[in-house]
Amino acid sequence: MTTPHRAINPPPRLPTSDWRMSFRSPLLTSIPHHRQARPAIRSLLSTARLLSSSQLHTPKMSVPNVKLNDGTSMPIIGFGTGTAHFGRECSDMVLEALKNGYRYLDTAQQYRNAGSVGEAIKRWGGKREDVYILTKFGADGAKPEDIEPRKVLQDQLKLLGVDYVDLCESPLIRFPARPEELVLTSRGDLVHNPFYTGNLTLAENWKIMEQLKSEGLCKSIGVSNYREEDLLAIKDTWKVPPAVNQIEFNPYNFHADNMLRLLKLCKDHDIKIECYGPLNSLFRSTNGPVDSVVEEIARQKGATPAQVLIRWAADYTGGVVVTTSRDSGRQKEQLEAVSKVTPLSEQQVQAIAEAGKGRFYRHFQHGVWNPAKP
């Protein structure tokens, strides 16, 4: 007579949606299911939770810094909140950039989204000193009293939720502007209209910027879209030279005579160039003479053409690059242009520069550069 097998009810299965089912550690599955194993399991799960929460504000990659003429430093690449994010709520995109490893955020009164940047920083949860914040004053159609540097900076600080910014920039200023100087680009893209600041002269405006720095409201001060003649207008009276000049910079516009003079003047005073629009040859002025050169260098370095162009702008100027994207993968790609892709050789830098001279293209700030000295 055989003894019937005793029925054993299997343990209840966890629902597939239970978060623990996704934690399939080989170590965890190898632990016997008895009470002595429970402390080890709890320890593993606790570690997993800590790692998961810390990922929110732990940088994914190391981004080099560039030293400025006032002794401070800033990351070599920044996440811009103009163009693709202009006038829009963009806290999710800025938060994604921070999670991906960006540590320099570029904003402005003109972009009308500083509140989104502040919200993203708050949600990110990192330390204030671990993120570099740049802002600029001035906005289209604003009254002179609404674009006074001190007032704008104080308003921006409230929106950003911080006590200071790392860098405050003065855009090229003249007011009122001539109508022909207020024309946007044909595609409607806008980084800044340069003619801000009311009745102040360039020199008077710069004096206020120096005062804001001395009061600790900003650690560094710089300019945006300044041409050679504009820097010369403040050079004789400045006590603190601009730390940076943020301008459109790419292989198709750097070689204009007025750009070359500007670059030399900035180099003479150790004013770093902040390059925006570095990918114009890839997305806005396509099928040009630099394409084959960039593609070959990308093949040699195991990089993408976008990474080579970002690397070129940083290497040619010795300065900083500002990019942006709504796509998380592209944000990472751009960061890796300076965190993983090694600097270009001098031969590679010059090859792109020479190819770029075969075309001229400027996408932004025609109202600034059309009346500039040739």
- Active site residues per annotation: 111
Measured between its terminal Cα atoms, the distance across the chain in Å is 109
Pairing, β 73-75 against β 65-67: antiparallel
Separation CA 107–CA 168 (nearest Å): 10
Closest alpha carbon to 220 in 155, 156, 271: 271
Separation CA 177–CA 118 (nearest Å): 31
> For the packed helices 305-317 and 291-301, what is the interaxial angle rounded to 10 degrees?
100
Dihedral sign for Cα atoms in the order 114, 118, 123, 126: positive
> For the packed helices 291-301 and 346-356, what is the interaxial angle rounded to 10 degrees?
160
Pairing, β 218-224 against β 77-80: unpaired
Question: What are residue 220's phi and psi, to 5 degrees?
Answer: -135, 160
Separation CA 238–CA 271 (nearest Å): 13
The SS3 assignment for 308 reads helix
Residue type, 271: I
Question: What are residue 75's phi and psi, to 5 degrees?
Answer: -60, 150
Apex 203 CA angle, 198 and 206, nearest 5: 80
Separation CA 66–CA 50 (nearest Å): 33
The token pair at 351 is: 């090859």
Separation CA 227–CA 207 (nearest Å): 19
